[in-house]
Amino acid sequence: MRCLIVDDEVLARERLARLLEGLESEVCGHAQNGEEALKQVERLQPDVVLLDIRMPGMDGLEAARHLAGFNRPPAVIFTTAYGDHALEAFDAQAIDYLLKPIHPERLQKALTKAMRLNAKQLDTLHDASGRGARTHICARNRGNLELVPLEEVVFFQADSKYVTVCSPRQRILVEESLKTLEQEFAESFMRIHRNALVAMNAIRGLEKSPDGQYRVILQGVADRLEVSRRMLPDVRRRIKSGS
């Protein structure tokens, strides 16, 4: 069984590696945060990810929710010094939750549970609806895994079954509904049209076209997105409150 160890502490990674060697499991790689873990899983295709929860940047819970959306997600076993995330861990489709210091017998039990998961069961671990809004948007761009920090996203715009995620640095497509994104990021994004959500802190003003249509001026991008008549009062209030 090929295992990826994810922990921001070097000593914790080394201890887990020694435990796995004693249990005749292969350590195929290491990562020190959630973002790195996603890229390593994409590259190494491990059977199991031993995932710490509290890490700088993207934490283990968010990483697990992203992993659950992969075509063939690995089994996730959380390893943590804190016992207050168990419910969230299982919401994120983890198969087990180990408290540090981890004992070999307990780790073996978790690995045995992971081995029992057949391919069909792994394919069903796709519900990434865990608690809390994501800090990153995860997508594949020309075959490569892309992670866009939410704080960099200027707008989401729907087109057919895809949504364009736009930041000053890049544009990627994700297969998510605008409605779902609106519900998840309601605190920081607002609907300006049936096909667009914009970051509230990116709105810099309104411009009116000769035909009477209003568009938002956004920080960091040249795009001018149409504002529907129904949403126009909310956008104006946002501009006024932010000035």
Q: At what angle do helices 104-116 and 10-22 cross, to 10 degrees?
A: 70
Q: What is the pLDDT of residue 213?
A: 94
Per-domain boundaries in the chain: 2-123, 136-242
- What are the tokens at 66? 């992203």
pLDDT score of 75 more than 70: yes
Q: What is the pLDDT of residue 31?
A: 97
pLDDT score of 119 more than 80: no
Q: What is the DSSP string of 220-231?
A: T---EEE--TTT
Q: What is the pLDDT of residue 226?
A: 96
Domain 136-242 coded CATH 3.30.70.3270:
no
Q: What is the pLDDT of residue 85?
A: 66
Higher pLDDT pick, 204 / 24: 204
pLDDT score of 71 more than 90: no
Confidence band, pLDDT 50/70/90 cuts, at residue 158:
very high
Q: What share of the chain is helix, strand, coil (3-state, %, to 5)?
A: 35, 30, 35
Q: What is the pLDDT of residue 117?
A: 66
Q: Between 3.30.365.10, 3.30.950.10, 3.40.50.2300, 3.40.50.1860, what CATH number should domain 2-123 receive?
A: 3.40.50.2300
Q: Within 68-103, where are the H helices?
A: 86-91
Confidence band, pLDDT 50/70/90 cuts, at residue 120:
very low
Cα–Cα distance measured from residue 79 to residue 188, given in angstroms and rounded to the nearest whole number: 31
Confidence band, pLDDT 50/70/90 cuts, at residue 207:
very high
**Which of 94-103, 135-144, 178-187 reaches the highest mean pLDDT?**
178-187
Cα–Cα distance measured from residue 155 to residue 229, given in angstroms and rounded to the nearest whole number: 19
Count helices and strands (H / E) in the chain: 8, 15
Q: What is the pLDDT of residue 113?
A: 86
Q: Within the chain, where are the H helices?
A: 10-22, 34-44, 60-67, 86-91, 104-116, 119-123, 178-184, 232-242
Q: Which of 68-77, 121-130, 158-167 has the lowest mean pLDDT?
A: 121-130
- What are the tokens at 84? 């207050």
